[in-house]
């Protein structure tokens, strides 16, 4: 799972290639989820998750979905520590607000405002963020399809915990939010940049699928592992290309392309010119 997280997703091909917001955003969300999981044995730790979540929002505004859902989760499940949860968030939130008031004369800078959202091609963006040949999450990291399988396995076996529903809701809300952005493809980028922040949550749901497959027997187990390893290797190849070959990024400004990246359609749907194959 650690290998898949590090090398078979945009954690490698995007977040690790430059000073994007996504790298530290993924770190904060990963640590937040980890702290929340630790509270099964040490409930007091839940209060510190808010500090990490607050920093995630300072880093990237779309992480507000994690803040909203996890705050509701704490309020419902760990009300005893809710006040301290809010106080720890203030450690990051208060300096952030003060800074914005001094610099921008506003609580939030323009980049953080919901008014930026609005996309007449919303449904195209919903599909594109998952399956576009240029920006689709499951095109560049098809191994994450097993995350869907993992959630399904827990649901069928009635092993879902309340946290699972909140994590799933965060992923869905994030997907909707980035699709509401008119520039849903993320401009000059490699693959599903806008979905990068959700990789920790997809990895969280990947675990049950691995456990389930390991419990199968004979041909069923062999076939499942064959598919799993094949998708992992393909994901590794795709993200290796983005991480190592500049030509895959120059795909964004190809003067001979039928359309500019800034135009979105039809460039985002061109299966004849796959970004991760540039330079081969």
What pLDDT score does 6 carry?
96
pLDDT digits (tens, 9 = 90+) for 39-50: 888 999 999 999
DSSP state letters, 57-73: HHH-GGGHHHHHHHHHH
Residues 21-43, mean pLDDT to the nearest whole number = 94
- The answer, yes or no, to whether residue 115 has pLDDT greater than 80, is no
Which of 75-79, 108-112, 174-178 has the least mean pLDDT?
Answer: 108-112
**Residue written as token pair 């839940």:** 46
Three-state DSSP at 100 gives helix
Q: What is the signed CA dihedral for 196, 184, 188, 138, rounded to 10 degrees?
A: 50
What pLDDT score does 178 carry?
95
pTM: 0.94
What pLDDT score does 70 carry?
97
Residues 101-111, mean pLDDT to the nearest whole number = 93
pLDDT digits (tens, 9 = 90+) for 229-274: 999 999 999 999 999 999 999 999 887 777 778 777 788 999 999 9
pLDDT band for position 213 (50/70/90)? very high
Per domain, the residue ranges of the chain are 2-277
């Amino acid at each position: 799972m650690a290998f898949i997280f590090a090398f078979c997703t945009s954690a490698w091909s995007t977040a690790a290639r430059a000073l994007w917001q996504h790298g530290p955003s993924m770190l904060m969300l990963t640590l937040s989820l980890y702290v929340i999981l630790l509270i099964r044995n040490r409930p007091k730790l839940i209060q510190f998750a808010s500090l990490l979540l607050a920093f995630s929002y300072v880093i990237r505004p779309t992480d507000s979905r994690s803040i909203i859902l996890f705050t509701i989760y704490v309020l419902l499940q760990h009300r005893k520590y809710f006040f301290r949860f809010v106080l720890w968030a203030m450690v990051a939130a208060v300096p952030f607000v003060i800074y914005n008031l001094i610099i921008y004369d506003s609580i939030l800078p323009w980049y953080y405002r919901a008014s930026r959202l609005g996309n007449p091609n919303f449904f195209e963006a919903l599909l594109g963020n998952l399956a576009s040949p240029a920006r689709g999450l499951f095109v560049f990291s098809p191994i994450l399809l097993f995350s869907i399988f993992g959630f399904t396995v827990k649901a069928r076996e009635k092993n879902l915990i309340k946290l699972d529903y909140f994590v799933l809701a965060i992923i869905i809300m994030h997907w909707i939010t980035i699709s509401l952005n008119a520039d849903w493809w993320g401009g000059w980028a490699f693959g599903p940049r806008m979905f990068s922040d959700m990789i920790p949550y997809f990895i969280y749901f990947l675990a049950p699928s691995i456990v389930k497959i390991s419990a199968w027997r004979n041909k069923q187990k062999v076939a499942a592992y064959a598919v799993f390893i094949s998708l992992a290797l393909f994901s590794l190849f795709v993200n290796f290309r983005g991480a190592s070959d500049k030509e895959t990024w120059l795909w964004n400004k190809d003067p001979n392309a039928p359309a500019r990246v800034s135009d979105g359609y039809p460039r985002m749907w061109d299966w004849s010119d796959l970004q991760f194959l540039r330079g081969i």
